[in-house]
Amino acid sequence: MALAAPKETYAGRVFEVTIGTSKTAVFGGENVLPFHKFDGDTPHKPVIAFEIQDVAPEDWPDTVKEVYGDAASDPVKWALYCQNNLNAQAIALRLISTHPDRENRSADDAAKTVKAVLDSIEVPLIILGSNNVEKDATVLVAAAEAASSRNCVIGKAQEGNYKTISAAAMAQNHKLIAMSDLDINLSKQLGILITQMGFEKERMIADPMCSALGYGLEYTYSVMERIRLAALTQNDVIMQPPMLADIGMYVWKVKETQASEADLPKWGSLKERGIAWEAVTAGAMLLAGAELLIMRHPDAVRSVQKFIEEF
């Protein structure tokens, strides 16, 4: 008599999200824990977006900057390089120059950059502000309008600016990233506030905040895991949007990805160390429940794609 393996079944399901127009990316839709295909439905693999910026990155380590070379001086060239040379599933454009402590570029400047990038690529676009709460409230409204009808992802809506950004994403029919501060209750509260505005919960993407390996990864993992368990076991619809892990911005600023081999020879190759740090962080976030990743180094992306295929 053949042994029938027991299965875990859940009452809830993660919402399925589609982004893009001419070329689309789909993630979410599962009714089981991450990679537990043997228990239920996992209709879509996680999606990885390559991060680019609207200006050349000054604070990225050379091990990442050298990959993109001159392309990183122009967001259009950079986006095309990721799409055509790296087979990117999606592009994440960070409008870092709009930050008041950087170039402090205007919302109009940001809108022009968004439109130029969108006109040049076919893959879906994720449009990110500079993470300045006040400035993003104006920048992301203009960006959402410039990207009208292109089914982009707009973010990040936070407690201090969610009303304005959510309204813009809703008016232009985009998806929305809702970012909270590493707390399941704050994540749920923000989700409730946004849906009370009339924004459809099925068009949201939750960002509980990310962290790098060795810098609070365990805490991030536990928060994301609790969110996913609430979505599946409690059928909590506010917890059922897919989750984002914005990995690159956290990984490539830590000591382990920047300290030179001359200063720390026992740590081994700086390049290999940084790639491994991003890949391991990404793998942990996938196991915690993330369905959308934003990453920087192509070699780390390839490692994570292999990880996804094997699982």
Domains of the chain: 16-310 (3.20.20.20)
Q: Which two tokens stand for residue 292?
A: 């959308």
pLDDT in tens, 140-189: 999 999 999 999 999 999 999 999 999 999 999 999 999 999 999 999 99
First-to-final CA distance of the chain: 29
Q: Which two tokens stand for residue 52?
A: 């680019």
The label of the residue with tokens 């228990």 reads 39
Burial class (CB in 10 A: 0-12, 13-18, 19+), 24: middle
* Cβ within 8 Å of residue 282, ≥6 positions away: 48, 245, 247, 293, 295, 300, 304, 307
Give me the residues of the chain with pLDDT under 70, please.
1
In this predicted structure, what is the pLDDT of residue 1?
66
* Cβ within 8 Å of residue 190, ≥6 positions away: 157, 158, 159, 162, 178, 179, 180
In this predicted structure, what is the pLDDT of residue 32?
97
Q: What is the pTM of this model?
A: 0.96
For 242, half-sphere exposure in the C-beta direction (CA atoms, 13 angstrom radius) is: 27
> Which residues is 28 bridged to in the sheet?
16
Q: How far apart are CA 118 and CA 214, in angstroms?
A: 36
Local structure of residue 22 (DSSP, 8 states): S
In this predicted structure, what is the pLDDT of residue 121?
98
Name the nearest CA neighbour of 125 among 166, 164, 154, 158: 154
In this predicted structure, what is the pLDDT of residue 44?
98
| Phi/psi of residue 282, nearest 5 degrees | -65, -45
In this predicted structure, what is the pLDDT of residue 91?
98
Q: How far apart are CA 85 and CA 67, in angstroms?
A: 11
Q: Which two tokens stand for residue 62?
A: 């050379």
Torsion of CA 50, 55, 61, 64, to 10 degrees: 30
In this predicted structure, what is the pLDDT of residue 217?
96
In this predicted structure, what is the pLDDT of residue 276?
98
